[in-house]
Chains A and B, each alone.
Chain A
Amino acid sequence: MDVQLKILRYNPEKDTEPYFQDFTVRGVSDDWRLLDVLQEIKWKMDGTLTYRFSCAHGICGSDGMKINGRNRLACSLLLKDLNTNKPITVEPLPSLPIIKDLVVDMSSFYDKYEVVKPYLINNTPPPPNGERLQSNEDAEKLFESAKCILCACCTTSCPSTWTNENYLGPAAMLKAYRFIYDTRDEAGNERMDILDTPDGIWRCHTIFNCIEACPKEINITWHLSQLKKKISSREI
Chain B
Amino acid sequence: MIKTFDVVIVGAGGAGLRAAVEIPKEYSCAVISKVYPPRSHTGTAQGGVCAALGNMEDDSWENHAFDTVKGSDYLGDQDSIEVMCRDAIRAIIELEHMGMPFSRNEKGQIAQRKFGGHTKPADPNDPYSNRLPVMRSCYSADRTGHVMLHTLFENSIKNQVTFFSEYFATDLLIENGVCKGVVAMDIATSELTVFQAKSVLFATGGNGRIFRITSNAHVGTGDGMALVYRAGLPLEDMEFYQFHPTGLWKLGILVSEAARGEGGILKNSSGERFMERYAPTVKDLAPRDMVSRAIITEIREGRGIRGSDGTDYVYLDVSHLGKELIDEKLPEITGFARTYLGVEPTKEPIPIQPTAHYAMGGIPTNADCEVLMNEMGETVKGLYAAGECACVSVHGANRLGTNSLLDLVVFGRRGGKAIAEFLKHADFQPVDESAADNSRRIIDAVMNSTGGEKIAALRTELQNSMMELCGVFRNEEGLKKMIEILGGLRERSRSVSIQDKGKVFNTELLGALELQNMLDNAEATVFGAYARNESRGAHTREDHPKRDDVNWMKHTFAFRKNSSYPELKYKPVVVTRYQPMERKY
Q: Does A55 contact B (CB under 8 A)?
A: yes
B60 within 8 A of A: no
Write the nearest CB–CB distance from B397 to chain A, whole angstroms: 27
Q: Is B339 an interface residue (CB 8 A)?
A: yes
CB <8 Å contact, B97 and A59: no
B110 within 8 A of A: yes
Please report the C-alpha to C-alpha distance between residue A207 and residue B57 in the assembled complex, in whole angstroms.
Answer: 48
B interface bracket (residues with beta carbon within 8 Å of A): 35 or more
Confirm or deny: B358 has a beta carbon within 8 angstroms of a beta carbon on chain A: no
Q: Could you tell me the distance in whole angstroms from the C-beta of A204 to the nearest C-beta in chain B?
A: 23
Interface locus among B38-46, B283-291, B401-409, B535-543: B38-46
Is A86 located at the chain interface by the 8 A CB criterion? no
List which B128-177 residues lie within 8 A (CB) of chain A.
140-141, 143, 146-147, 150-151, 154-155, 157-158
Contact assessment for B456 and A135 in the assembled complex, using a CB-CB cutoff below 8 Å: no
Q: Please, which residues of chain B bring their CB within 8 A of the CB of A14?
A: 502
Task: Report the nearest A residue to B36, measured CB to CB.
Answer: A106
Binding-face segment, B429-437, B484-492, B504-512, B516-524:
B504-512
Distance A114 CA – B153 CA, assembled complex (angstroms):
11
Q: In the complex, which of the residues B38, B98, B219, B505 contacts A61, with contact meaning CB atoms closer than 8 Å? A: B38
Residue of B whose beta carbon sits closest to that of A105: B188
> A11 contacts which chain B residues (CB < 8 A)?
502, 504
A119-B154 CB under 8 A given contacts A46-B499, A47-B498, A57-B253 = yes
A126 / chain B contacts, CB cutoff of 8 Å: 97
Interface size class of A (residues with CB under 8 A): 35 or more
A201 to B140, alpha carbons, bound, how many Å? 28
- A132 close to B218 (CB less than 8 A): no
Is the Cβ of B339 less than 8 Å from the Cβ of A114? Answer: no
Q: Are A61 and B99 in contact (CB under 8 A)?
A: no
Most buried by B among A54, A147, A184: A54
- Identify which of A76, A135, A150, A182 contacts B104 (C-beta below 8 A): A135
A100 with B505: in contact, given A118-B157, A130-B93 (CB under 8 Å)?
yes
B472 within 8 A of A: no
A205 at interface, CB cutoff 8 A: no
Q: Please give, as numbers and ranges, the residues of chain A lying within 8 Å of B98 by CB-CB distance.
A: 120
List chain A residues, Cβ under 8 A from B341: 31
- Residues in B neighbouring A51, C-beta threshold 8 A: 507
Contact with B along A118-139 (1 / 0, CB 8 A): 1110100010011111111011
- Residue on A nearest B504 in the bound complex, by CB: A100
Interfacial chain A residues near B150, Cβ < 8 Å: 146
C-alpha gap A192/B82 in the complex (Å):
45
Task: Report if B109 contacts A (CB, 8 A).
Answer: yes
Chain B residues with CB under 8 Å of A138's CB are 104
CB distance B218 to A54 under 8 Å?
yes
Interchain Cβ contacts within 8 Å, total number: 153
B186 to chain A, nearest CB (A): 12
B111 within 8 A of A: yes
**CB neighbors of B among A19-42 (8 A):** 31, 33, 42
**CB–CB B218/A59 < 8 A:** no
| B500 touches which of A47, A58, A76, A135 (Cβ 8 Å) | A47
Q: Are B498 and A133 in contact (CB under 8 A)?
A: no
> How far, in angstroms, from A113 to B299 measured CA to CA in the complex?
49
The CA-CA distance from A48 to B505 in the complex, in Å, is 10
Complex CA distance for A18 and B385, rounded to whole angstroms? 43
| Cβ contact within 8 Å between B217 and A56 | yes
The minimal Cβ–Cβ distance linking A145 to chain B, given in whole angstroms, is 9
What separation, in Å, do the CA atoms of A62 and B504 have in the docked complex? 18
B502 to A48, Cβ gap below 8 A?
yes
Alpha-carbon distance A142/B343, docked complex (angstroms):
28
Answer whether residue A82 sits at the interface, using C-beta atoms and an 8 A cutoff: no
Is B84's beta carbon under 8 Å from chain A?
no
**Within the assembled complex, what's the spacing in Å between the Cα atoms of A140 and B253?**
26
Task: Find chain A residues with CB under 8 A from B507 CB.
Answer: 42, 50-51
How many whole Å from A142's CB to the nearest CB in chain B?
Answer: 5
B340 sits at the interface (CB 8 A): yes
Provide the residues of chain B in CB contact with A46, threshold 8 Å.
Answer: 499
Q: How far is the CA of A31 from the CA of B218 in the complex (A)?
A: 19
Task: Given A59-B44, A136-B105, A149-B38, check contact A50 B505 (CB 8 Å).
Answer: yes
Q: A147-B143, A179-B99 are in contact. List 18 more A-B contacts (CB 8 A).
A: A47-B498, A48-B499, A51-B507, A54-B218, A54-B219, A55-B217, A57-B253, A60-B35, A106-B36, A119-B155, A129-B93, A132-B97, A134-B104, A139-B101, A146-B101, A149-B38, A182-B99, A182-B101
Could you list 19 examples of A-B contacts with CB < 8 Å? A42-B507, A43-B454, A43-B511, A48-B500, A54-B35, A60-B44, A61-B39, A99-B188, A106-B36, A126-B97, A136-B103, A136-B104, A136-B105, A140-B103, A146-B143, A146-B147, A146-B150, A149-B43, A149-B146
